[in-house]
Amino acid sequence: MTDAHADADFDPAPSVEAVSDLATRISENVERVIVGHHDAIEDIIVALFARGHLLLEDVPGVGKTMLARAIATSIEGEFERIQFTPDLLPSDVTGVNVFNQQTSEFEFREGPVFGNVVLGDEINRAPPKTQAALLEVMEELQVTVDGVTRRVPDPFTVIATQNDVEPDRTYDLPLAELDRFMKKIHLGYPNEAEETELLGRVSGHHPIESLEPVASAGDVRDARERILDVTVSEPVRSYVSRLAADTRAGADLGVSPRGSIALVRAAQARAALDARDYVVPDDVQREVRSVWAHRIRTTDERAGRDVVQRALDTVPVE
């Protein structure tokens, strides 16, 4: 192969401007379906681009499933949904070997985790063993059944929801499992104008039925690679470390090193969304609440967000 031919075949990594443009296209496309949740859509895109997973905790009927489906459609990805119930088994999540009588061999039937965007609906309604089956895939990006390991598709992002309306019918997610989610966010109810707009959109055919992709799974893979090269300077890394130390001093259980890594990765994605190839403290401050609040435990009445806010108020930017 000649050098000229090699240069012609070379596919350079996208610029941060291209990553920012990709995020804008996806966000605008999703907003054709989802009304009034621009920040939440950006949160999901940040998690998607930063190789993370996202936990949604909200009341039923605010569009969580439709949001995940719109994200998957926008990147031409495979969307899978798992309805977690008390009788759901780990094999219902990961897949199972089934004996084929015609071939006299076992064949693997993929579970719903073999998708690009996987919605785990009401994850806390299933027993811990089944929850763990999904959380293991989130961490390892692979499924092992009967000694055979299979990789899940790339990109792979889990959007899980929690039922917080019926606590007597749910299982608490242990903190070690919550720590696997890069972000935790709430949608909330739309305001009057947003709900009026929503009703107008769905009075005929639902807009999700006509939604078209505006990107590909390959575009997301390229964006993920580019984000890894976004510069995180020593002062910014030090700022994250000092914030983490403050949460550990101000709570019974503060942010783990995994949480610090998640925050840096989310800040890198946020910088790229703003078309910058370097992280600034503002990126850290914009991401820290959704990345850290669910990882903190206190024995008093303070919520994790209060501990994070205290850290932001007391730790100086140097």
pLDDT value at residue 147:
83
Place of tokens 């994605």: 269
Supply 93's token pair.
């999540």
Say if residue 182 is exposed, middle or buried (CB neighbours under 10 Å; 0-12, 13-18, 19+). buried
pLDDT value at residue 2:
43
Q: What is the dihedral of CA 166, 168, 170, 175, to 10 degrees?
A: 110
Q: Which CATH number fits domain 14-216: 3.40.50.300, 1.10.150.20, 3.20.20.70, 3.40.1000.10?
A: 3.40.50.300
CA distances from 35 to 45, 63, 91, 212, 283 (A): 16, 9, 36, 17, 25
DSSP state letter for 208: G
Contact 124, 170 (CB under 8 A): yes
CA atoms within 13 A on the CB side of 70: 27
| Integer Cα distance of 257 and 6 in angstroms | 42
Give the pTM: 0.88
pLDDT value at residue 244:
96
pLDDT value at residue 11:
54
Q: What CATH fold (topology level) applies to the domain 229-317?
A: Helicase, Ruva Protein; domain 3 (1.10.8)
Q: What percent of the chain has pLDDT over 90?
A: 58
Residues 6 or more apart whose CB falls under 8 angstroms from that of 117 comprise 48, 68, 69, 71, 72, 75, 77, 78, 79, 80, 157, 159
| Integer Cα distance of 164 and 232 in angstroms | 36
Element (H, E) at 151: strand 148-151
Q: Where are the domains of the chain?
A: 14-216, 229-317
Which residues of the chain, if any, have pLDDT below 50? 1-10
